[in-house]
Chain A
Amino acid sequence: MLVGGRLTDRPVAATMWFSPAGGLPLPPFENPAMARRALLTLVASTLCLLLVGAPSPGTGEPPKVAAGDSPPIDFCREIIPVLTKLGCNQGACHGAQLGKGGFRQSLFGFDPDNDYQQIVLALKGRRISYSRPEESLILKKPLLHVAHAGGKRLKENSEAYRRLVTWIADGAPGPKANEPTLTAIQVEPQAQALQPGGSLQLRVTAKWSDGKTEDVTEFAQYDSLTEGQASVDAAGKVTGVGTGEGAVMIRYLGQAAVCRTSAPYGSPTTVDDFGDHLVDRLLAKKWEQLGLVPSPAASDAEFLRRVQLDLIGTTPTPDEVRAFLADANPDKRTKLVDDLLERPEYADYWTLKWGDLLRNNRTYLEPKGMWCLHQWLRSSFIANKPLDEFARELLTAQGSTFQEGPANFYRVGTTPADWGESASQLFLGVRMQCAKCHHHPFEKWSQDDYYGLAACFARVGNKPSQEYGLFGRETVIFLRPNGEVSHPRKPGAVKPRAPEGPAFNETQDRREQLAAWLTAKDNPYFARNLVNRYWAYCFGRGLVEPIDDLRATNPASNEPLLQALTERFIADGYDVKKLLRLLVTSRAYQISSQAVPGNQADVENKFHTRYRVRRLAAEQLADALDAATGTREKYQGLPAGTRAIQLPDASIPSYLLTIFGRPGRRQACECERTATPNLAQALHLLNGDFLGGKIARQGGRVDRLFQQKKPLPEVVEELYLATLCRTPSPPELVKALSLIKETPSPRVGAEDLLWALVNSPEFLFNH
Chain B
Amino acid sequence: MRLERLTALELVEEVKSEAIKAEEVVEYFLDRIKRLDPKLNSIITVNEAVRVGKGALAGLPIVVKDNISTKGIRTTCGSRILENYVPPYDAEVVTKLKREGAVIIGKANMDEFAMGSSGENSAFGPTRNPWDLTRVPGGSSSGSAASVAAGLAPISLGTDTGGSIRAPASFTGTVGLKPTYGAVSRYGLIAYANSLEQIGPIGRSVKDVAFLYRIIKGEDEKDSTSLPSPDFSLKDVEEFEARGVKVAVISNLAEKVDEPVKKRFSRSLDLLVEAGVEIDEVEIEVAELALASYYVIACSEASSNLARYDGVRFGVGCRTNTSWREAYREVRRLFGKEVKVRIMLGAHMLSTGYFEEYYLKAVKVRRLLREGLKRILKKYHFLLMPTMPVLPWKIGEKLDDPLYVYLSDALTVPANLAGLPALSLPAGFEEGLPVGIQLMADEFQEARLLGMGLRFEEKVGRPEVAEL
Task: Specify whether A and B are partners.
Answer: no
Chain A residues engaging chain B, CB cutoff 8 angstroms: none
